[in-house]
Amino acid sequence: MANILQFERRANHRPHQAQRAVGLLRDLSYLSTLRVVRENSTSLVHIAEIATPERGTQQAFVKAFPMRYESVGLTNELAGYLVARAVGLPVATNAYVLIVKTEKLFGVHPSFQAELSNTRGYNLAWCTSAIEGAPVRLLHKITDDEMRKRLRAWKRLPAVLAFDDWVANGDRSRDNLIAIRNNEFALVDHAEIAGGLSRLDGTIDNCIQVPNRLLKDVYGDQIPASVKSAMMLAAEQHSVAFAIVQPELDYWFKELFSNSTEDTTIIDFLRDRANTSVPRVLTQTGLLI
């Protein structure tokens, strides 16, 4: 992990942060804690009031990771957000790497002080602006007829299905889909892409086969030909999207993980899978061309 204070000083002298899709927030931007959303052994999520250059004071979701998962968790969230955004999928309007004092996190998540403790005095957290809408888990099961109907009417669904295959996301459940309006949804939470948080040794199998959970939940074994074709069209754009997003991935991984293998590992993974998205979708859907 790069030295955070050195990172802050370098960032202060970089004039082009506004050109990046993901911003940097320092501890002073963290104004107050509002409520805890979820706590488990791999991630700690709460809602906070933060101050940002783009939108002033706002509510945001802050996801911190126990130290053993911090590098891989932040890597996955950064990569998932940037790639989803590059292919035009609906995600939070603003996203940030938040440098937050460890003692503040102790106050928010007191039962996880041992897991958050470190010698730096700071933690890196993933921070995203709140999305107007309700998590699907509060509405229906995805396999309920009403929710299936709404998801099938979502124009971006084939692109989401192709995206989840690209990043090897087997965790697209009702917990990380936000219903924002009738037949429209947004994506959150990409910590489980590319082998998930258990990828502690820094290696990823680029050919990993992860069940496309959302595809199965929405269509079962009866995938319409129109959906198969739309998935393939989306897959054809993945190599271009990766080329667009790679410079920002390179920037963040160099700054945050200069002493880790996470940077080259995830970039190689995304590049290789982008280049093989079309044959994988063809195999997955059984589409004949």
**Over 41-66, what HEC string results?**
CCCEEEEEEEEECCCEEEEEEEEECC
Res. 4: pLDDT tops 90 = no
Looking at mean pLDDT, say which of 13-27, 50-64, 96-110 comes out highest: 96-110
Please count the CA atoms within 13 angstroms of the CA of 289 that sit on its side-chain side.
Answer: 12
Residues in the chain: 289
Identify whether the C-beta of residue 7 lies closer than 8 Å to the C-beta of residue 256. Answer: yes
pLDDT score of 204? 86
- The 3-state DSSP class for residue 130 equals coil
Closest CA to 83 of 241, 195, 262, 231: 241
74-103 mean pLDDT: 96
DSSP 237: T
pLDDT, tens digit (0-9, with 9 covering 90-100), for 183-204: 899 999 999 999 888 777 667 8
Average pLDDT, the chain: 90
Res. 279: pLDDT tops 90 = yes
pLDDT, tens digit (0-9, with 9 covering 90-100), for 30-44: 999 999 999 999 999
Res. 261: pLDDT tops 70 = no
pLDDT score of 255? 86
Give long-range contacts, CB 8 A cutoff, 24+ apart: 89-93.
89/156, 89/159, 89/160, 89/163, 89/187, 90/156, 90/180, 90/184, 90/185, 90/186, 90/187, 91/128, 91/186, 91/187, 91/188, 92/61, 92/128, 92/129, 92/130, 92/131, 92/186, 92/188, 93/129, 93/131
Identify whether the C-beta of residue 167 lies closer than 8 Å to the C-beta of residue 191. Answer: no
36-58 mean pLDDT: 94
Q: Which residues contact 195 (CB under 8 A, 6 or more apart)?
A: 168, 204, 205, 208
Least confident range from 63-67, 68-72, 125-129: namely: 68-72
With the C-alpha atoms ordered 8, 91, 50, 62, is the resulting torsion angle positive or negative? negative
134: exposed, middle or buried (C-beta count within 10 Å: 0-12, 13-18, 19+)? exposed
233: confidence class by pLDDT, cuts 50, 70, 90: very high
7: confidence class by pLDDT, cuts 50, 70, 90: low
Identify whether the C-beta of residue 157 lies closer than 8 Å to the C-beta of residue 118. Answer: no
15: confidence class by pLDDT, cuts 50, 70, 90: very low
Least confident range from 7-21, 68-82, 162-176, 180-194: namely: 7-21
Instruction: Enumerate domains of the chain plus CATH numbers.
Output: 4-129 (3.30.200.20), 134-285 (1.10.1070.11)
